[in-house]
Structure 1
Amino acid sequence: MFVTAILGKKWAKEDPIAYTRKWGNGAIVATMVGLAGHLAFFFTRWAEAGHIPTSNMYEFMTFLGMMIIFAFIIVYYIYRATVLGIFALPIGIIIIGYASVFPKDIQPLIPALQSYWLKIHVTTAATGEAFFAVGFAAGLMYLLRSVNFSGQTPGDRKEQRGVELTLFSLVMIVAFVVSIFGFNAAGYHAKYTNDVLYTSKDGIEQTVKQTVDYVLPPIFKPFESEQVEMQPFLGMTEAPFEAPSWMHGSNAGRKLNTVVWSIFGGIILYGLLRLIARKPLGAAISPLLKGIDLEDIDEISYRAIAIGYPIFTLGALVFAMIWAAEAWGRFWGWDPKEVWALITFLYYAAYLHLRFSKGWQGKRSAWLAVIGFMVVMFTLIGVNLVIAGLHSYSGT
């Protein structure tokens, strides 16, 4: 409906402003109804689980998607920017779609998560990241509107490649979700066993044989593993490669396999979209945004990040450190997730500093907003899929 509100006014017989307002009002009402439905799901699952449903990747990412929709609604009512819905809502939908590929079973809380800080830390961190997502959507809109996609200068080409890389990242997530659903629907599965060394708090080492289930065809199998079962795929009856030994963690091989499949799927889907558009995606989308006011979009991007930053700081750093002291006996331990949360905090601090002190507005501010959310997504997805740490339980 947001697309209709913006693009349909070209062919509307009535006044374009009245047309946009009418469809925009309908779109925001539909969005709020959808948010109400998601809230009902959230509290129903909370009652069923007996704890707030933010303890694993499925629960956290669905909550993040819900908060992105919430953050969009807040920003919408501040600025009445109907066009923002064309980009902000798909971001939330992609996040929810990504969440749906993870196991949906209600899992009991591990001891480290059995704390009231789970409600405080996770919800505030996700809310801050949700406003960053809205700032990203507005920043991307600014770039799609302002970058000269027909330019041939080195600066123009650099900006064109940057926008295409950003769009490819979004396409890659979509391709990953489609791949998971496709192979799930086809009933594909493969299974491996390998030995994993665990070290207890007392320093006692124990080797445990674990089973690793694959939903995507294994290009990389776990290091030093035995194949138990594998359905043939394109004539492939065994994994051609083995995960490198330096990749630690119980599911390192499967995580690497997921990353590789995401990249391959993204390349294929991006290539198909390029064939359909017959031009780079940024150049195809740019003409659709000719009517937007760049100053308004720049202000929306900044304001969303300014709202999200203190919320994120409280949730991802202050509350997180207090909880870490209770759960692990220290405020800071250089765990990968902690490090990337700090990087995110420092990055957006630099964004606000450059905006206030150096006058970085417009295109430079938009680039910072886009890159910043890429850092957030790596913290949420890349760290869980690639890097093992104390927060790896959230990547199951």
Structure 2
Amino acid sequence: MNWLDFSSNSFIVAFYLYCASFISFAIAVAGKRWSNRKAEDHTSRWGKIGFGLAAIGWLAHLTFFFTRWYGGGHIPTSNMYEFMTFLGMAIMFAFIIVHLIYRNMLLGAFALPLVIIIIAYASVFPSEVQPLIPALNNYWLKIHVTTAATGEAFFAVGFAAALMQLIRVVDFSRKDKVGKRAQFWTEFSLYVIIVLIGFLVAVFAFRGAGYEATFSQEKVTIADDGTATSEVKEVKYGLPPIVAPYNSDIVEFQSFIGLDKPLFDAPSWMNGVNAGRKLNTIIWSVISGSLLYGLLRLLARKPLAAAIHPHLTDIDAEDLEEISYRAIAIGFPVFTLGALIFAMIWAQIAWSRFWGWDPKEVWALVTFLFYSAYLHLRLSRGWQGTRSAWLAVIGFLVVMFTLVGVNLVIAGLHSYAGV
């Protein structure tokens, strides 16, 4: 048996089951609009179907993980594709645990899209099994990565519940300054999520069309003694280049809707790995996400948060806050162990130092301090309600920047994860 092929098929099955689960939860949130039965019966029935599909999908995802481990010879957490698929699996595990505690069927309507986006994001990266570099070939890495991702998964569930809470409590009929500010930031949170979806739409659309552009970039490095060395490398784009790499020449360029050359070069201070290509990706993500958001607004004929709000009025906002807090309270010690303590042990073995102020280490510390502040303010200062919910939402944005921004934008010792 080819275990890697079986693993890939299991992954596809898991993805489609997650999509079906989200559709079921979405129908549950919609209430009795498509049913003549009582809303409670309708929600319970579709919620149970959604949870059942999610649980089966998680088992398929678990099968993918272990068969890839067996077929590849090492735990599949060594690059961005493997780590993000593991994170999606961990979020589903956290959702199942929280659901079994609180029996809130509708949380899946917000948790499942997050899992689907993360899995789709993982699919952007090469899925081939790669040999481990020496720094990764250590059992402490397995402990460090899996526990850190599990902690982040519970943060993700806390984020989903907090976002539901914010949409639930915002009064969209208010016209005063405070009310409009709450409406704006809640809508902006949904816009950020749609921009992430827009990134996936753009990448897969141009990949399916076979688009590619190539630049020849010269990089000059000046040593401490004043000696200058020059290196020329090719930079390939999968999206039409709005931004060209700094100090580069066009090798191959496919015209797109009149765009036959880049509009400008990346600034010279952006000297990270493939900085121009990454800036170009960010611009395309904002463009495609904004177009998608505009289309959804046109269909809804109102702000998206205002369109979702009526379907959440039967949910107790205090229950959502409790779910968010408990999920974060579970995830915080797990994250602390994995992202800090176990990470420092691995760093000592791999690089002969416990701490080196690498960007990934710094942002893991920032995440730890932020959630420490969240727990302190909620437990000791009485920050509950919307203030607590906003902290949970912002905290997960910090987590996502630690995972994505640091790996793909900031160069450092953890940059191997972006290969």
> How would you bin the TM-score normalised by the shorter chain?
over 0.9
> Equivalent residue for 2:179?
156
Partner of 1:384: 407
Q: What SS does the aligned partner of 1:179 have?
A: helix
Cα distance change of structure 1 residues 273 and 7 upon mapping to structure 2, 3 Å threshold = closer
Q: Quick one: which of 189, 193, 198 aligns to 1:166? A: 189
Aligned partner of 2:57 among 27, 34, 42: 34
**Cα distance, 1:221 vs. partner?**
1.5
Q: What one-letter code is carried by the residue in structure 2 that aligns with 1:241? A: F
Higher mean C-alpha displacement, 28-37 vs 377-386: 377-386
Tell me the CA shift for residue 378 of structure 1. Answer: 1.3
Question: What letter is aligned with 2:211?
Answer: Y
In the TM superposition, residue 319 of structure 1 has moved relative to its aligned partner by 0.9
Amino acid at match of 2:347: A
The match for 2:143 among 116, 120, 126 is 120
For residue 203 of structure 2, what is the aligned residue in structure 1? 180
Counterpart contact for 1:189–1:230, Cα < 8 Å: yes
Give 1:222's match in structure 2, choosing from 245, 253, 273: 245
C-alpha separation in 2, matches of 1:107 and 1:254: 23
Question: Structure 2 matches for 1:231-242, cutoff 5 A?
Answer: 231-242=254-265
Contact 2:219 2:247 in 1 (8 A): no
Cα shift at 1:197: 6.0
Q: 2:402 and 2:109 mapped to 1: Cα distance? A: 25
Residue identity in the other structure for 1:4: I
**Aligned counterpart, 1:318:** 341
Q: Which residue of 2 aligns with 1:351?
A: 374
1:347 partner amino acid = F
SS at match of 1:209: strand
Higher deviation after alignment, 4-13 or 377-386? 4-13
Aligned equivalent of 1:135, options 147, 158, 161? 158
Which residue is equivalent to 1:373? 396
Q: What are the within-5 Å matches in structure 2 for residues 279-298 of structure 1?
A: 279-298=302-321
Distance 1:199 1:111, change over 3 A: farther
Aligned in 2, Cα 1:199/1:35: closer, same or farther, shift over 3 Å? farther
Greater shift in the superposed pair: 329-338 or 181-190: 329-338
Q: Relative to 1, partners in 2 of residues 1:47 and 1:205: Cα closer, same or farther, differing over 3 Å?
A: farther
- Please say if residues 31 and 311 of structure 2, whose CA atoms lie closer than 8 Å, have aligned partners that are also in contact: no
Structure 2 counterpart of 1:213, one-letter code: K
Normalising by structure 2, what TM-score? 0.90
Return the offset for 1:156: 1.0
Q: 1:3-14 alignment to 2 at 5 Å? A: 3-9=26-32, 12-14=35-37
| Residue aligned with 1:391, SS | helix
Answer yes or no: is the 8 Å Cα contact 1:243–1:256 preserved in 2: yes
Q: How is 1:228-267 mapped onto 2 (pairs within 5 angstroms)?
A: 228-267=251-290
**Secondary structure in 2 aligned to 1:193?**
strand
State whether structure 2 residue 212 is matched by structure 1 residue 212: no
What is the letter of the counterpart of residue 44 of structure 1? T
Letter in 2 for 1:131: F
CA offset digits 1:321-343 (Å, max 9, x no partner): 11111111211111111111111
- Give the Cα–Cα distance (whole angstroms) in 2 for the partners of residues 392 and 226 of structure 1: 26
- Residues 196 and 250 in structure 1, CA contact (< 8 A), matched pair in contact too: no
> Alpha carbons of 1:88 and 1:199: their partners in 2 closer, same or farther (altered >3 Å)?
farther
Q: Deviations over 1:154-195 (max 9, x none)?
A: 111111111111111100000000000100111100111223
SS at match of 1:248: coil
Contact 1:259 1:385 in 2 (8 A): no
Please state whether the residue corresponding to 1:20 is helix, strand or coil. helix
Q: Matches of 1:20 and 1:393 in 2, distance apart?
A: 45
Alignment partner, residue 144 of structure 1:
167
User: What is the Cα deviation at residue 25 of structure 1?
Assistant: 2.2
| Structure 2 residue ranges without an equivalent (≥5) | 1-23
Distance 2:293 2:40 in 1: 35
Task: Report the aligned-residue RMSD.
Answer: 1.9
Question: Measured at CA, do residues 19 and 240 of structure 1 come closer, stay the same or move farther in structure 2, by a change above 3 Å?
Answer: closer
Distance 1:177 1:223 in 2: 25
Does residue 86 (structure 1) correspond to residue 109 (structure 2)? The answer is yes
Q: What is the correspondence of 1:183-198 to structure 2 with a 5 Å cutoff?
A: 183-196=206-219
Following superposition, the deviation at residue 196 of structure 1 comes to: 4.2
AA partner of residue 277 (structure 1): A
Amino acid at match of 1:83: L
Give ranges in structure 1 of 5+ residues lacking alignment.
none
Give identity over the alignment, percent. 62
